[in-house]
Structure 1
Amino acid sequence: MKLDALKRLYFIGIGGIGMSALARYFNQRGAEIHGYDKTETALTKKLVSEGMKIHFEDDIAKIPEQLDAVVYTPAIPGDHQELNHLMASDIPVMKRSEMLGVISRAKKCIAVAGTHGKTTTSSMTAHLLKHSGMDISCFLGGIANNFESNYCYGESEWTVIEADEFDRSFHRLSPEIAVLISMDPDHLDIYGEKNKMQESFEIFLLKVNEGGKVIIQQDLIELLDDGFLKKLKDKRVDVFTYGGEEADFKISNLRFEEGRQVFDQGDLKDVSLMMPGLHNTLNMCAAMAVARILEIEKEQIKAGVKTFSGIKRRFEIFEGGSMVYVDDYAHHPSELRAAIGSARSLWPDREMTVIFQPHLFSRTRDFLSEFGDELSKVDELLLMDIYPAREKPIPGINSERLLETIDLKEKKVVKREDLMKIIKGKKRKLIMTLGAGDIDVFAPEIRSWIKEND
């Protein structure tokens, strides 16, 4: 499939963060973009303002004519009328990952993978390269503040893509450089067991073009199958490590100065990062490794790190008077550990109220005890109902069951209609909303309440 031949496209699930990035790419190229989504959101309104035509009813009559291709997300249910109708037509229909694969083969692709941290790391990588003058394009899984978008357009041969392990989507990519930052168990509804998921990451790394590069967090090397590194060597792929004491790219002399993390990476001294947390320092270490392999000048890399302003819903901080509010996308136990740990290190003397919305019945079931361990580390927990996303309920798996695993005196399940009233009655000086569902809809009201009570 030739990208230049695609002049009129239809996106089913266009309001998704990954789908909207693809739609923006083709819109920027001058294609006519149509789409469907279940509900209107701030993001779909933005897409419409950019010239796209979107409707919110599953109605075959609303499908535009003379389409060159249809792109859909795997999150669309199997009984979707429009999708089934188009599948039976002669129009090319492909998953989002398939279209990303087409793009990755048309350009030189830098693909960032991992069960957590990939949105941050891919955004960091894209910013460092763009800031240095490389006219890259990028497809991100979140809204990068530097771009005010989940997508950036560029005319060069390079593109940065967040490589999604869900539904084995990243197997469609053909990277020139692959970055692997984490392999914690997740999406066990897809993979079944931890070993199968790790095997899937190995398959992704083997998708790297012959003569390409792999950058991997040092601790993950020992998890790879025996003989795997030889397979990469046979493809003339260079393997670099980052993060550990023996790594090719490592962090040293880490300290905290004037609200920023400052560190060295080899001969790059006094690098200054706005985002808190060791996990974010390691994410930036990976992004810097990409920049250094691409021979970006050291001072440009330092300037890029200093000006990186984060991603929406990745530890976003709002301060008003004596109150601090943090909103974060954390939805896996490892991500909860990082977010809660970062908050403790920044505000060690503040009592913490966390509002958590579990994401997926299967993930809650698979990591029930791990969620309990991490959520037991806060001072007070308000637990919302599980956000189902694409799933149907699983008997016996609910927020009440999760609450039982949490060793905490101040804890309860709250209904969304009662949440703001409960929050406004709190005396805590630190409030966090955590989760990947729709908990972020409360963020503007929480910020307004804090501002009013400043």
Structure 2
Amino acid sequence: MTQYHFIGIKGSGMSALAQILSDMQYDVQGSDVEKVFFTQKPLEQKGIPLLPFQKENIQKGQTIIASAAYNEENEEIRAASEKNIPVFQYPTFLGEFINQFTSIAVTGSHGKTSTTGLLAHVLRKAKATSYLIGDGTGKGEKDSEYFVFEACEYRRHFLHYKPDYAIMTNIDFDHPDYFKGINDVFDAFQEMAMQVKKAIIACGDDEHLQKINGQVPVVYYGLNEEHDFCGKNIHADENGTHFDVFVRTSYYGSFTIPGYGNHNVLNALAVIAICHYEQVDMEIIKERLSTFKGVKRRFSEKQLGNQILIDDYAHHPTEIFATIDAAKQKYSNREVVAIFQPHTFTRTETFLDEFAESLKTADRVYLCDIFSSAREHSGDLTINDLVEKVPGAELIQEETIEKLLQHQDSVLLFMGAGDVQKFQVAYENAVATKSKINK
């Protein structure tokens, strides 16, 4: 049996794909740096060998899959070249792999991870479904009918895929280190739309997606009545968010989701639309929507004393606004405190004013130093440029994290795509230390 070797196996997509192949009883191993990432835990649980980078890992007869983060500078990629062993880039391999199934790509500037997780959760109850989620979660079923996967627009990676269906959640300007502007982003999505084989499920509330054309039907969902799938009568309580769905103006059913905020209703509508298209029983859809526990780092909650701590991947102004709004809906009687770590100097500089506007919707704001890779240059920008634009905002560090103790009975939102979790860990440790001292 062919052995699959993953170069850079701890990447979120790579980790998920390795788990899928392992579940399907293939021989899988991988290599990466020594630093510990949250994506490696499920690999270890499945007994997938994790090796340090070394040319000895490369052997004849392997199928080698490499993360897009690595090139000829990596010793394993060089070794494969010397031995004339082909190396498949992750998007290239995945593009071939999905052809075995009825494939559903979930793409969009925001919400794709949550929507992929939700769709997989629902479809699995109806038929054998394998799935790959951008939070590093992957599950393979040997005789899968469906393959649900997150398709990322960054560097136009999703153009490697020709799925049966595509869910498109929205189009927004992000990744300013690659895309030139919103028109460039739209062009990428339009090119991807032309590769879809059966149908495109698009959010009609998004002005850019209204202009999408495909060689297949474009089915729209949203909160406006003119859409094919419309969510109405939305209301929230302590049990979640409740809404009615109308299919082409005819009442279809009433649904409840555990999440809060219109963005979560829209994600659910996308899933309902694809399931309706594939004739999944409505009772299955209802039950599974109501039991979805979410995906990693998307509004992940825990109670700490009388505070609520929420960890979220939000790193774009649109996502920050949605996350703060969801917290305010769920905890309407509590102060919402935002602790935000900007991700990359490029993104921070491009969206400086938009970040400020989104953060102003929180009751209090603390800002952490900008997270960046060693290869990125800061120019003259510092975190103080953002601090100055948000009234009352304060700079916070791991050493000064105890400031958050003053916000009793509050919701603490730790947001960012870098290593903002370390600030939450530091805070939890500070609370534990204070508790011991008081005893």
TM-score, length-normalised on structure 2? 0.90
Residue 362 (structure 1) shift: 1.5
Residues 356, 137 of structure 1: alpha-carbon distance in 2 compared, 3 angstrom cutoff: same
Matched ranges for 1:286-435 at <5 A: 286-389=270-373, 391-406=375-390, 408-409=391-392, 411-416=393-398, 418-424=399-405, 426-427=407-408, 429-435=410-416
Find the residue that maps to 1:191 and give its secondary structure.
coil
Q: Which amino acid aligns with 1:191?
A: F
Residue 141 (structure 1) shift: 0.8
Structure 1 distance, partners of 2:415, 2:401, is 15
Residues 109, 171 of structure 1: alpha-carbon distance in 2 compared, 3 angstrom cutoff: same
Residue 222 (structure 1) shift: 5.3
Structure 1 distance, partners of 2:270, 2:141, is 22
User: 1:130 is matched with which residue?
Assistant: 124
Matched ranges for 1:259-298 at <5 A: 259-266=239-246, 267-298=251-282
Residues 223, 53 of structure 1: alpha-carbon distance in 2 compared, 3 angstrom cutoff: closer
Gap regions ≥5 residues in structure 2 = none
Structure 1 distance, partners of 2:109, 2:156, is 12
Residues 357, 448 of structure 1: alpha-carbon distance in 2 compared, 3 angstrom cutoff: same
Find the residue that maps to 1:110 and give its secondary structure.
strand
- The Cα RMSD (Å) is 2.4
Residue 333 (structure 1) shift: 0.5
Which stretch of structure 1 is more off in the superposition, 95-104 or 67-76? Answer: 67-76
Residue 440 (structure 1) shift: 2.2
Structure 2 distance, partners of 1:80, 1:353, is 42
Residue 453 (structure 1) shift: 6.0
Find the residue that maps to 2:30 and give its secondary structure.
strand
User: 2:17 is matched with which residue?
Assistant: 22
Residue 219 of structure 2, aligned match among 219, 240, 246: 240
Residues 312, 45 of structure 1: alpha-carbon distance in 2 compared, 3 angstrom cutoff: closer
1:59-101, Cα deviation, whole Å (9 max, x unpaired): 334x242352222222337633333443454112122111110
Matched ranges for 1:2-41 at <5 A: 7-38=2-33, 39-41=35-37
1:288-316, Cα deviation, whole Å (9 max, x unpaired): 11111000111111111111111121112
Does structure 1 retain, via aligned residues, the 8 Å contact 2:324–2:336? Answer: no
User: 1:436 is matched with which residue?
Assistant: 417
Which stretch of structure 1 is more off in the superposition, 284-293 or 32-41? Answer: 32-41
Does structure 2 retain, via aligned residues, the 8 Å contact 1:323–1:429? Answer: yes
Find the residue that maps to 1:240 and give its secondary structure.
strand
Structure 2 distance, partners of 1:98, 1:389, is 25
Does structure 2 retain, via aligned residues, the 8 Å contact 1:105–1:173? Answer: no
Does structure 2 retain, via aligned residues, the 8 Å contact 1:76–1:390? Answer: no
Does structure 2 retain, via aligned residues, the 8 Å contact 1:177–1:215? Answer: yes
Residues 378, 180 of structure 1: alpha-carbon distance in 2 compared, 3 angstrom cutoff: same
Residue 390 (structure 1) shift: 7.3
Residue 286 (structure 1) shift: 0.4
Residues 426, 219 of structure 1: alpha-carbon distance in 2 compared, 3 angstrom cutoff: closer
1:37-80, Cα deviation, whole Å (9 max, x unpaired): 22123432431331211124x4334x242352222222337633
Does structure 1 retain, via aligned residues, the 8 Å contact 2:317–2:358? Answer: yes
Residues 81, 383 of structure 1: alpha-carbon distance in 2 compared, 3 angstrom cutoff: farther
Is structure 2 residue 138 aligned with structure 1 residue 158?
no
Which stretch of structure 1 is more off in the superposition, 443-452 or 386-395? Answer: 443-452
Residue 68 of structure 2, aligned match among 51, 71, 74: 74
Does structure 1 retain, via aligned residues, the 8 Å contact 2:18–2:28? Answer: yes
User: 2:43 is matched with which residue?
Assistant: 47
Q: Which amino acid aligns with 2:242?
A: V
User: 1:173 is matched with which residue?
Assistant: 161
